[in-house]
Amino acid sequence: MLLPLEWLREFIDVPMEPEDVAYRLTMAGLEVEGTEDTIGGAVLNIKVTPNRGDCLSVIGIARELAAAYKLPLRIPERIGALDPGDAAQYASVTIEAPDLCPRYAARIIRNVRIGPSPQWMQRRLEAAGMRPINNVVDVTNYVMLETGQPLHAFDYDRLGGHCIVVRRAAPGERMRTLDGVDRALPEGSLVIADQRVPVAVAGVMGGAESEVNVRTRTVLLESAHFNPASIRRTARLLNLRTEASYRFERVVDPEGVAAAADRACELIAQVGAGEPVEGILDVYPGRKPSRFVEVRPDRASLLLGFPVRTDEVTDVLARLGFTVESPGGKDAVKVEVPSWRPDIVREVDVVEEVGRVLGYDRIPERLPRGATLQGGPSDLERFLHKVRTLLAGLGLQEIVSHSLLPEDALDVSWDAGDRVAIRNALSAELSGLRRSLLPGLVDALVRNARRGQGPLAFFETGRVFSRHGDEFRERVHVGGILCGPISPAGWQRSAPPAPGDFSTAKGLVEQLFNVLRLPPPKFVQACDARLHPGRSARIVAQSGTVGWVGELHPEVSPRLRSKERIVAFEVDAEALKELADERVEFRPLSPFPAVERDLAPRVRADVPFGAVEEAIRHNSPAILERYELIDVFAGPPLPEGVRSFTLSFTFRAPDRTLTDEDVAAALEQIRSALEQTCGAVFPT
Amino acid sequence: MVEVDELEERAKADVDMAASTAELAAVETRYLGSKGQLQALLRSIGTLPRDERPAFGARVNQAKERITQLIAERRQQLERAEVQRRLESERIDITLPGRPLPLGRLHPLTQTVRQVVDVLSGLGFQFVEGPELEDYAHNFQALNYPEDHPAFDEMMTFYVDDQRLLRTQTTALQGRVMQYQRPPFRIATTGRCFRYEAVDATHHHTFHQVDVFMVDEGISMADLKGTLRQFAGAMFGGDVRVRFRPDFFPFVEPGVDYAIFWKDRWLELGGAGMIHPNILEAYGIDSERWTGFAFGLGIERIHMIQHGVNDLRLYLENDLRFLSQF
């Protein structure tokens, strides 16, 4: 809200320095976001929080400053029209929807002479950010800025039957608003109607037909109170926000309705815009009883953390316009909440008033005492930290990318889930939640590749989303991507590091399982349109498929200058966490020596290494400690279609030194298993 | 005896003359070997008169010891010189760059979260996780947001359907915790939030927050201030001061905006306040006995302050020129 300082000084003698006033306001909870110097003096730009509708006016701000500065307020007591008087002969007011309109008041102004408003008024309006229009409209805006009560002036002669009916819009009703737009009125929204048709969207905008214009001779001036939520809904449905709706949404003082109408009449007479008719049509079916709240100074002290005396409580509250009912009570002070403070409902609300006016600088700093609790990261965070430090340790740079994505061929959920779309997306770019980490990884790769930056080795841990009918899934995944070597080439170009390939990506996945102490997963032929059909795999753990690894399919792979292939992987980190076992059982070290022997079975090229592993696993001699594949060979002198694997076996017994016979028998067991299950032959 | 003296003299000269360990080995064989000159001399002992024999033998042995010692000394000398020569020949340019080994780093947001978790864990806060795809009830209703309230203006929300939305604040976790947790408790969470905002250097539709709250007997705003001071001091270093300014958030009462005095200026960090009794009561917690505070702040904001980063957008762009700085 824009507030000219000189206008404020009409009601309270605050200092001339805008900085001083701005600081006090900010410290009272009305943040001054900026101060502008104009010809008419300083104008403060105040951010009013949504709970403080009462501060959307010069008088409201003055009231706050009266409490902050301990200064008296100059607000003229207005005892205006109390009964209908002559006005009753001009018009009638009927409220058919008292739940949405607790109060509606109208005054009549005759002999209206539309013209410009005086310079002083125009200056203040402009300083407060409003455009002067004519003397009658300017007065309504002026009073709104001064008191917070939005007003509306109707051309009395355009009101059919000279009556005001406050009711809900009927189905299909339309109206042209002041801005010239013909609008369908949302069914059930509150309208001001004459005998037949709506003449204003209540609390939002008036109708064009009944607008005050140069030919207007008589004005019906509206001052009313509307249900805030109803105004907010209507404004939202019409996509129409006005100074009036902004204030009504934030609650206007229902007790100030008549006073604002009277103030407007006073100004209209003063600027010579017309002659107010004696009397007011004030229909007030929704008068709320006064609200009383009890506040215990002890409770205030406990919550605020510094001692608060009873007299301080009563003093602060009195300055804020509360009426102290029973001052000096032993345990509690009972106060009547002013009608303009609907936000004050219970004791704690009053405590806040006391605290902020006494000043939060009085709050000391101390650390909580009481039960000492065990703090720490969440289980998931601890787990992910292990995953992250491993992948970073292996040379991958961590990235953090967007959850909101456009439709993307790379964004596929491997558990066949649908995309979770955003109903009110900002743009197609942000129209849904990611199902896979791959688009973000590719994006980081492309972004850096295009700038010639590397190494192109990244990983991310993040949430992915999918929809399975009515079920929504949110899972933490970990994914990685590689293009070229993980290490930079350096200056030894004659022996450059090897580029990442399927085997590198698979190695990363295997190390992940290894560090998490999970049994090695199976790598099974994948069927994923994003991946090279011959160089990709599903990762299968005990619980089922937990991810994928592979080279990107050339059809989805981004075009880069580099000729290197892109490989990537993605694993459901939560699935791994569920499988991971943090307990480690120590295995004693055998004091007996190990024996190493190599075997080099030759198999047909279509026998995968996995079959060899399988055969060994099922026929593993008790003394086999471990084995390792140390070479794969094909080509001359081997015949076409034959491969040779060189395997190095380590044998050891926990309780004795192995004999040559032990080792020979074990090797023979493996050899014959490979002959039988894989058709292996062994060179002699 | 003279022969022995001569032999010893010759041996000494030959040892001194040997220019390499190989030459020295030849000298050693020549004098000390089983077919060496000393051995030959010893064999001639039979030609001497019986009474001279012991003295001769002793003299030969003495010569053998002397020569052995000379050779050992010379060998050590030569070996040292040879190592010296080899090392000299192996000299390289130590100013050439080292081999660039693979080096991955954690994202700055991860590093910041880690620091936040460490500091708050030390203050007894247990971290928990909440969903990013939240429901209206937890993100708003449980946090004391009245329906159709202007407070929603500051919470532009991405909706999936009428109930589901992308959480606008990690505070959404409060209700989830209070559903099962009885006081006293100290809870914290970090995570990603979303708001329907246009992106610029200080606004983003996707950002990260840490949210902290505790409930115990006698908790006041002084505890909040002290905890914030401790937290901010640990995050930013130095002795910081904390300032409260009244602000409004539906889930706290009193509600404040807190700033810290750091490096000669006030930095506004986030919102805080005493947990609204309506929230405690909604979860069956006696708000008369138990009180609590809550505060939150942006992870990006912490990192920006710590390192002087001036553009929020950098955090999700994954440019190596940015990432490799931290």
pLDDT tens, residue by residue, B20-44: 889 999 999 988 888 888 888 888 8
Q: Are residues A273 and A320 in the same domain?
A: no
Chain B residues with CB under 8 Å of A392 CB are: 104-106
Name A295's Cβ contacts closer than 8 Å, sequence gap at least 6: A313, A317, A332, A333, A335, A347, A350, A351, A354
What distances in angstroms separate CA A355 from CA A6, A301, B153, one per listed residue?
29, 9, 26
* Among A61-70, A214-223, A236-245, A413-422, the least confident range: A413-422
Round to whole Å and give the CA distance between B291 and A302.
9
Whether residue B244 is predicted with pLDDT greater than 90 in this model: the reply is: yes
Q: Say whether B184 and A451 touch across the interface (CB within 8 A).
A: no
Average pLDDT over residues A78-104: 90
A427 in Cβ contact with A548 (< 8 Å) = no
Per the structure block, which two tokens stand in for A375? Answer: 């703090």
Asked if residue A121 belongs to a domain, the reply is yes
Q: Say whether B148 and A458 touch across the interface (CB within 8 A).
A: no
* Among A210-214, A319-323, A324-328, A640-644, the least confident range: A324-328
User: For residues A680 and A489, which has the higher predicted lDDT (pLDDT)?
Assistant: A680
Please tell me the distance in Å from B85's CA to the nearest CA on chain A.
27
**Across the interface, which of B205, B218, B323 has its CB nearest the CB of A404?**
B205
Q: Say whether B110 and A404 touch across the interface (CB within 8 A).
A: no
Average pLDDT over residues B212-240: 94
What was the pLDDT predicted at A330? Answer: 65
Residue A413 binned pLDDT confidence (cut-offs 50, 70, 90): confident
What was the pLDDT predicted at B198? Answer: 87
Per the structure block, which two tokens stand in for B178? Answer: 């209070």
Per the structure block, which two tokens stand in for A500? Answer: 């990442």
Please tell me the distance in Å from B291's CA to the nearest CA on chain A.
8
Question: CB contact, 8 Å: B55 with chain A?
Answer: no
What was the pLDDT predicted at A374? Answer: 87
CB pairs under 8 A between A and B: 265
Q: Say whether B225 and A402 touch across the interface (CB within 8 A).
A: no
Whether residue A134 is predicted with pLDDT greater than 80 in this model: the reply is: yes
Q: Which of residues 164-203 of B touch A (CB under 8 A)?
A: 164, 166, 184-186, 188-190, 192, 194, 196, 198
Chain A residues with CB under 8 Å of B106 CB are: 388-389, 392, 398
Per the structure block, which two tokens stand in for A441? Answer: 């990884």
Helix (H) or strand (E) holding A388: helix A379-393
Q: Where are the domains of chain B?
A: 2-89, 110-323
Q: Are residues A139 and A259 in the same domain?
A: yes
Round to whole Å and give the CA distance between A464 and A69.
54
Q: Which residue of B has its CA nearest to A23?
A: B245
Q: Say whether A398 and B254 touch across the interface (CB within 8 A).
A: no
Please tell me the distance in Å from B285's CA to the nearest CA on chain A.
16
Three-class secondary structure of residue A187 per DSSP: coil
Chain A residues with CB under 8 Å of B149 CB are: 50, 229, 232
Length of chain A: 684
**Across the interface, which of A232, A356, A364 has its CB nearest the CB of B150?**
A232
Asked if residue A563 belongs to a domain, the reply is yes
Average pLDDT over residues A467-474: 93
Q: Say whether A355 and B230 touch across the interface (CB within 8 A).
A: no
- Which tens digits make up the pLDDT trace of B78-107? 999 999 999 999 999 999 888 888 889 999
Asked if residue A7 belongs to a domain, the reply is yes
Q: Where are the alpha helices (DSSP H) in A241-296?
A: 243-249, 257-270
Asked if residue A644 belongs to a domain, the reply is yes
Q: Where are the alpha helices (DSSP H) in chain B?
A: 2-17, 21-32, 37-43, 53-89, 108-122, 136-139, 173-178, 221-236, 277-282, 299-307, 320-323
What distances in angstroms separate CA A497 from CA A121, A563, B224, one per listed residue?
78, 15, 54
Q: Which residues of A406-434 are buried (b: 16+ CB within 10 A; e: fewer)?
A: eebebbbbbeebebbebeebbeeebbbbb
Q: Say whether A360 and B242 touch across the interface (CB within 8 A).
A: no
Q: Where are the alpha helices (DSSP H) in A461-545?
A: 502-515
Chain A residues with CB under 8 Å of B146 CB are: 229
Q: Are residues A42 and A187 in the same domain?
A: no
pLDDT > 90 fraction of chain A, expressed in percent and rounded = 83
What was the pLDDT predicted at A329? Answer: 57
Average pLDDT over residues A267-276: 95
**Across the interface, which of B129, B248, B254 has its CB nearest the CB of A351?**
B254
Which of B95, B105, B107, B123 would you mutate first to test chain A, the one with the most A CBs within 10 A? B107
The CATH number of residue A40's host domain is 3.30.56.10
Q: Which of residues 126-155 of B touch A (CB under 8 A)?
A: 126-129, 131-133, 146-151, 153-154
Round to whole Å and give the CA distance between A367 and A357.
24
What was the pLDDT predicted at B197? Answer: 86
Q: Which residue of A has its CA nearest to B193?
A: A403
Per the structure block, which two tokens stand in for A34? Answer: 């900026």
Asked if residue A77 belongs to a domain, the reply is no
Q: Which of residues 58-87 of B touch A (CB under 8 A)?
A: none
Average pLDDT over residues A481-503: 87
What was the pLDDT predicted at A328? Answer: 55
What distances in angstroms separate CA A137 from CA A114, A124, A201, A214, one per listed residue?
9, 14, 17, 12
- Which tens digits make up the pLDDT trace of A569-601? 999 999 999 998 878 889 888 899 999 999 999
The strand pairing partners of A3, in sequence order, are: A44
CA A499 to chain centre: 41
Q: Say whether B104 and A487 touch across the interface (CB within 8 A).
A: no
The region that residue B237 occupies, defined by phi over 0 for left and psi between -120 and 50 for alpha, beta otherwise, is left
Contacts 24+ apart (CB under 8 A), A230-236: A230/A100, A230/A189, A230/A190, A231/A190, A231/A202, A231/A203, A231/A204, A232/B148, A232/B149, A232/B150, A233/A186, A233/A189, A233/B148, A234/A186, A234/A189, A234/A190, A234/A201, A234/A202, A234/A203, A234/A204, A235/A204
Average pLDDT over residues B151-159: 83
Question: CB contact, 8 Å: B261 with chain A?
Answer: no
Q: Say whether B192 and A403 touch across the interface (CB within 8 A).
A: yes
The CATH number of residue A163's host domain is 3.50.40.10
What fold is seen in the domain B110-323?
BirA Bifunctional Protein; domain 2 (3.30.930)
Q: Are residues A115 and A57 in the same domain?
A: no
Round to whole Å and give the CA distance between A315 and A308.
11
Question: CB contact, 8 Å: B110 with chain A?
Answer: yes
Domains in chain A: how many in total? 5
Of the candidates B6, B51, B49, which has an alpha carbon nearest to the alpha carbon of residue B31? B6
Q: Are residues A211 and A314 in the same domain?
A: no
Please tell me the distance in Å from B89's CA to the nearest CA on chain A.
21
Q: Which of residues 279-308 of B touch A (CB under 8 A)?
A: 291
A271 in Cβ contact with A135 (< 8 Å) = yes
Which of A100, A366, A404 would you mutate first to test chain B, the one with the most B CBs within 10 A? A366
Q: Are residues A210 and A147 in the same domain?
A: yes
Question: CB contact, 8 Å: B320 with chain A?
Answer: yes
Q: Are residues A461 and A527 in the same domain?
A: yes
Helix (H) or strand (E) holding A200: strand A198-201
Round to whole Å and give the CA distance between A321 and A288.
18
**Across the interface, which of A49, A363, A430 has its CB nearest the CB of B244?**
A363
The CATH number of residue A643's host domain is 3.30.70.380
Which of B315, B318, B319 would you mutate first to test chain A, the one with the most A CBs within 10 A? B318
Question: CB contact, 8 Å: B225 with chain A?
Answer: yes
A519 in Cβ contact with A542 (< 8 Å) = yes
Round to whole Å and give the CA distance between A96 and A138.
30
Round to whole Å and give the CA distance between B218 and B292.
8
**Across the interface, which of B127, B247, B253 has its CB nearest the CB of A349?**
B253
What was the pLDDT predicted at B3? Answer: 81
Handedness of CA B27, B29, B30, B31 (dihedral sign): positive
Q: Say whether A377 and B194 touch across the interface (CB within 8 A).
A: no
What distances in angstroms separate CA A129 from CA A12, A36, A47, A142, A497, one per listed residue?
22, 12, 14, 11, 66
- Which tens digits make up the pLDDT trace of A184-202? 999 999 999 999 999 999 9
Q: Are residues A457 and A601 in the same domain?
A: no
Average pLDDT over residues A493-521: 91
Q: Say whether A229 and B153 touch across the interface (CB within 8 A).
A: no
A677 in Cβ contact with A613 (< 8 Å) = no
Edge-to-edge strand ranges of the sheet holding B126-127: B126-127, B185-194, B206-217, B290-298, B265-275, B252-262, B241-246
Asked if residue A398 belongs to a domain, the reply is yes
Chain A residues with CB under 8 Å of B107 CB are: 398-400
Chain A residues with CB under 8 Å of B291 CB are: 302-303
Average pLDDT over residues A407-413: 89
Average pLDDT over residues A322-338: 82
Whether residue A395 is predicted with pLDDT greater than 80 in this model: the reply is: yes
Q: Say whether A463 and B192 touch across the interface (CB within 8 A).
A: yes
Q: Are residues A125 and A240 in the same domain?
A: yes
What distances in angstroms separate CA B320 from CA A361, A440, A454, B311, B326, one per listed residue?
44, 14, 7, 15, 10
Chain B residues with CB under 8 Å of A304 CB are: 220-222, 254
Round to whole Å and give the CA distance between B318 and A571.
21
What was the pLDDT predicted at A80? Answer: 66
Round to whole Å and give the CA distance between A13 and A5.
10
Residue A435 is given by DSSP the state S
What was the pLDDT predicted at A365? Answer: 94
- Which tens digits make up the pLDDT trace of A639-677? 899 999 999 999 999 889 999 999 999 999 999 999 999
Asked if residue A373 belongs to a domain, the reply is no
Q: How many helices (H) and strands (E) does chain A have?
A: 17, 32
Q: Say whether B100 and A426 touch across the interface (CB within 8 A).
A: no
What was the pLDDT predicted at B55? Answer: 87
Average pLDDT over residues B134-156: 86
Average pLDDT over residues B9-18: 90
Round to whole Å and give the CA distance between A357 and A351.
10
**Across the interface, which of A249, A302, A370 has its CB nearest the CB of B216?**
A370
What was the pLDDT predicted at A454? Answer: 85
Q: Are residues A279 and A295 in the same domain?
A: no
Q: Are residues A566 and A627 in the same domain?
A: no
Round to whole Å and give the CA distance between B155 and B196.
8
A91 in Cβ contact with A221 (< 8 Å) = no
Residue A418 is given by DSSP the state B
Contacts 24+ apart (CB under 8 A), A421-429: A421/B160, A422/B158, A422/B159, A422/B160, A422/B166, A423/B158, A423/B159, A423/B160, A423/B161, A424/B158, A424/B159, A424/B196, A425/B158, A426/B196, A426/B198, A426/B205, A429/A404, A429/A405
What was the pLDDT predicted at A387? Answer: 96
Domain around A202: 85-283
Average pLDDT over residues A493-522: 91
Chain B residues with CB under 8 Å of A307 CB are: none
Q: Which residue of B has its CA nearest to A368?
A: B223
Q: Which residue of B has its CA nearest to A52?
A: B248
Whether residue A266 is predicted with pLDDT greater than 90 in this model: the reply is: yes
Does the predicted TM-score (pTM) go above 0.80? Answer: yes
Please tell me the distance in Å from B183's CA to the nearest CA on chain A.
10
What was the pLDDT predicted at B239? Answer: 84
Q: What is the mean pLDDT of chain B?
A: 92
What was the pLDDT predicted at B86? Answer: 92
What was the pLDDT predicted at A297? Answer: 93
Asked if residue A348 belongs to a domain, the reply is yes
Question: CB contact, 8 Å: B96 with chain A?
Answer: yes
Per the structure block, which two tokens stand in for A418? Answer: 């649908």
Q: Are residues A413 and A450 in the same domain?
A: yes
Round to whole Å and give the CA distance between A441 and A431.
19
Three-class secondary structure of residue B78 per DSSP: helix
Round to whole Å and give the CA distance between A174 and A191.
11
